[in-house]
Chain A
Amino acid sequence: MRGEQCLEVDGISKRFGEVVALDRLSFSIDGGEVFGFVGSNGAGKTTAMRIALGVLDADGGEVRWGGRPVTFETRRRIGYMPEERGLYPRMKVGEQLAYLARLHGLDRATAWQRTRAWTERLGVASRIDDEVEQLSLGNQQRVQLASALVHNPEVLVLDEPFSGLDPVAVEVMSSVLAERARDGVPVLFSSHQLDLVERVCDRVGVIQAGRMVACGTVEELRGGGPEQVVVEVSAATVDWARALPGCRLVSTQGARVLLELDDGADAQQVLRCAQAAGPVLEFARYRPPLTELYRHVVQEEGR
């Protein structure tokens, strides 16, 4: 059941000459959901976002918001951060943000009020009268984010919002995204920083050669794989783990071993064997990080 604020990308396709950039790509983001878009360079993330914003036209398919096709009029309510950062280098930060807010339909007073509020929030309020090109790259990035937020958008589409940010700015950025989602805004962003995506996103979509090859919560992406356990035993060698019944040794790291259990194998049996070998320091179910899941998905697809 999709809410009123749901952003749906329904079967969009795009070709550039002979190159197929998008092949019937579909996914949807509910209001209040943070959706992470991952994929290698050239997989089609940016093209999909540019189509959603109307900067590019799709060859086929449709983008809907709240059940209705996204029109020019509704696009103004989307906050957009293009992959290629774009601001007038010689324009003052404050004037630039207020100008963009007014282009989105805000009146002068509201535009300035929001400009002040967002520069304050993003820590660039003191630079409001400086030209953009005088700012450091990190601060330009903050201004760029402010430009995506200044008109109080009802949908956020951010292409690589975290690239080039220092750790403090990353924290600010992720808290802003979470906050906007709490207000019921669907948030779509792309990133190569998979640990960050795993931490910030409710759901993740993996795009490969213009197609969505995996989509869901990180937990759902983990689902289906064999059960694995990490065990560390205070023993001279890891030989105890080499010939256990019902499981296979995947890797070792010092005294730590990663074991993959066969279907129906009993983890408790493994624990008993470990205790027999020596004092057990660690015994846990292994939850592969998104990085590993991603590599797995991409390799599967590549085959």
Chain B
Amino acid sequence: MTRPRRSDATAVRLVAAREVTTRLRSKAWRIVTLVLVAMVVGFALVMQAVAGHQQPERVGVLPEARALAPAITATARATGQDLVSVAVPDAATARRQVADGRLDAAVTGTTGDQVRVVVRKRLDAGLEGVLRQAVGQMILDSRIRQLGGDPGQVSRAVASASVRTRALEPPQTFDPQRLAVGSVAGILIYLALIGTGQGVATGVVEEKSSRVVELLLATIRPWQLMAGKVLGIGLAGLLQVVLVGVAGATVGLLSGALDLSLSVTAAVVAWLVVWFVLGFTIYALVFAGLGALVSRQEEVAGATAPATVFLVVGYVVGISVLPSAPDNSLVAVLSLIPAFSPTLMPMRLAMGAVPAWQVLVALVLAVASIPLLVLLTGRLYRNGVVRTGARVSLRVALRRG
């Protein structure tokens, strides 16, 4: 009996297809995807709720203090406080409205250089500053008038005073929204990489511990099995990242939590996908090679620890440094190195202001590292995968075989 030659590509495709269907059907994959989607959507909604809560401070002004009202609003405007003044007819009304929260504070009167305020518990520090300055201004105005001057003229002269600065190293400005988005992107890519990487290692060990690998290797070559596995798990992971990224971006934009342009949002998601693909390829190869050294699921974590450490360090450095110092130069250097770029670069890109040359260097280095890793981890895998039983030492596994 003759049968058609099965090409190498077919073998890889068959293995990959099995991995994809197994994952998409598994409860674990579905649950993780749902949890991640819920996380980003929840984050977007919380951000929106926090933003929506910032209503202007309402300050009631009694007739006795009416003279102060223009000064209060003017000072608030000048210092960037969001504040409205409301006329209140009498002290009883003022007390009631402060008590039930309709007013944040009520100015009940002034005596000399003192202003009397009713609040529920304590006076907001910003508001106190505004009131103090308003009273000061009022006193100043009356003294200027007593001396025969024009308070308006003085105010204008004061207002025109300014400082002109010329920075030698102009600091980059970062949109706080993009910093938040960058952090979320970092968390997302870290979870996706660690999840899929562990998935690869666990899958390799599953085949070893169930001994099915011997049956498979009687039919296909080790590299075909490894490539199919990495490809399949990668595709399932990619689908997860795209689903979560698109869901987060859509909800963020539609709910108004994200005040970013569509093109910026699309770029963040696109970079996330690009770096997931690169990061996954780099880490999945290493996880597959290291996973092949052990035969039991309990040993997977120990065997893959060297790879996990790099992933965790990149993520922790990024998430703890970047939101407060997005232009940190140490992080910039780390984000060019293939072991760290998959976690750090998408965060920096989401936060904005990454020089094009740095993006290019990181991409080139990441892509260039892949053939090297294929060679190295392919050998680990080939030598490790048929040796069941005790853990295979790196020295033995790296031997030319």
Q: List residues of chain A with CB under 8 Å of any chain B CB.
A: 50, 53-56, 72-73, 75-78, 80, 82, 84-91, 99-100, 102-106, 147, 152, 154
Question: Are B218 and A75 within 8 A (Cβ)?
Answer: yes
Contacts of B4 in A (CB 8 A): 105
Q: Is B77 an interface residue (CB 8 A)?
A: no
Within 8 A of A (CB), among B1-18: 1, 3-6, 11, 14-15, 18
1/0 contact string of B186-220 vs chain A (CB within 8 Å) = 00000000000000000000110011111111111
Contacts of B11 in A (CB 8 A): 103
Contacts of A73 in B (CB 8 A): 5
In the complex where A87-B210, A89-B210, A99-B14 touch, is A82 in contact with B219 (Cβ < 8 A)?
A: no
Q: Is B386 an interface residue (CB 8 A)?
A: yes
Q: Could you tell me the distance in whole angstroms from the C-beta of A70 to the nearest C-beta in chain B?
A: 11
Q: Is B221 an interface residue (CB 8 A)?
A: yes
Q: Is B388 an interface residue (CB 8 A)?
A: yes
Q: How far is the CA of A29 from the CA of B11 in the complex (A)?
A: 30
In the complex where A86-B214, A87-B210 touch, is A154 in contact with B1 (Cβ < 8 A)?
A: yes
Contacts of A54 in B (CB 8 A): 217-218
Question: Are A80 and B18 within 8 A (Cβ)?
Answer: no
In the complex where A88-B210, A106-B3 touch, is A100 in contact with B215 (Cβ < 8 A)?
A: yes
Q: How far is the CA of A73 from the CA of B215 in the complex (A)?
A: 15
Contacts of A75 in B (CB 8 A): 218-219
Question: Can you list 27 A-B pairs, Cβ within 8 angstroms, ordered by A?
Answer: A55-B217, A55-B218, A75-B219, A76-B6, A80-B215, A82-B211, A82-B215, A82-B218, A86-B210, A86-B214, A87-B215, A88-B206, A88-B207, A88-B210, A89-B210, A91-B22, A100-B215, A102-B14, A103-B11, A103-B14, A103-B216, A104-B219, A105-B3, A106-B3, A147-B215, A152-B1, A154-B1
- For chain B, the count of residues having a C-beta within 8 Å of the partner chain is 26
Contacts of A80 in B (CB 8 A): 215, 218
Interface of A is mostly: loop
Contacts of A85 in B (CB 8 A): 211
Question: Are B212 and A87 within 8 A (Cβ)?
Answer: yes
Q: Could you tell me the distance in whole angstroms from the C-beta of B393 to the nearest C-beta in chain A?
A: 13
Contacts of B5 in A (CB 8 A): 73, 105
Q: Could you tell me the distance in whole angstroms from the C-beta of A94 to the nearest C-beta in chain B?
A: 13
Contacts of A72 in B (CB 8 A): 221
Question: Are A103 and B213 within 8 A (Cβ)?
Answer: no
Contacts of B1 in A (CB 8 A): 152, 154
Contacts of A84 in B (CB 8 A): 211, 214, 388
Q: Could you tell me the distance in whole angstroms from the C-beta of A123 to the nearest C-beta in chain B?
A: 21
Contacts of B210 in A (CB 8 A): 86-89
Question: Are A82 and B3 within 8 A (Cβ)?
Answer: no
Of chain A, the residue at the smallest CB distance from B217 is: A55
1/0 contact string of B346-360 vs chain A (CB within 8 Å) = 000000000000000
Question: Are A55 and B212 within 8 A (Cβ)?
Answer: no
Give 9 nearest A-B pairs by CB, closest first.
Answer: A86-B211, A86-B212, A105-B6, A84-B211, A53-B218, A82-B214, A80-B218, A103-B219, A86-B215
Question: Are A55 and B3 within 8 A (Cβ)?
Answer: no
Q: How far is the CA of A241 from the CA of B18 in the complex (A)?
A: 71
Contacts of A87 in B (CB 8 A): 210, 212, 215
Contacts of A88 in B (CB 8 A): 206-207, 210, 212
Q: Could you tell me the distance in whole angstroms from the C-beta of B205 to the nearest C-beta in chain A?
A: 13
Q: How far is the CA of A100 from the CA of B216 in the complex (A)?
A: 8
Partner of B218, one of A78, A89, A106, A152: A78
Question: Are A55 and B211 within 8 A (Cβ)?
Answer: no
Q: Could you tell me the distance in whole angstroms from the C-beta of B256 to the nearest C-beta in chain A?
A: 44
Q: Could you tell me the distance in whole angstroms from the C-beta of A276 to the nearest C-beta in chain B?
A: 63
Of chain B, the residue at the smallest CB distance from A154 is: B1
Contacts of B15 in A (CB 8 A): 103
Q: Could you tell me the distance in whole angstroms from the C-beta of B261 to the nearest C-beta in chain A?
A: 46
Of chain B, the residue at the smallest CB distance from A99 is: B18
Q: How far is the CA of A99 from the CA of B218 in the complex (A)?
A: 14
In the complex where A86-B210, A103-B219 touch, is A55 in contact with B14 (Cβ < 8 A)?
A: no
Known: A75-B218, A105-B3. 13 other contacts (CB 8 A): A54-B218, A55-B386, A72-B221, A78-B218, A82-B211, A86-B214, A88-B210, A88-B212, A89-B210, A103-B6, A103-B216, A104-B219, A105-B5
Of chain A, the residue at the smallest CB distance from B26 is: A90
1/0 contact string of B213-232 vs chain A (CB within 8 Å) = 11111111100000000000
Q: Could you tell me the distance in whole angstroms from the C-beta of A288 to the nearest C-beta in chain B?
A: 36
Contacts of A76 in B (CB 8 A): 6, 219
Q: How far is the CA of A84 from the CA of B11 in the complex (A)?
A: 23
Q: Could you tell me the distance in whole angstroms from the C-beta of B312 to the nearest C-beta in chain A?
A: 29
Q: Could you tell me the distance in whole angstroms from the C-beta of A66 to the nearest C-beta in chain B?
A: 13
Contacts of B211 in A (CB 8 A): 82, 84-86
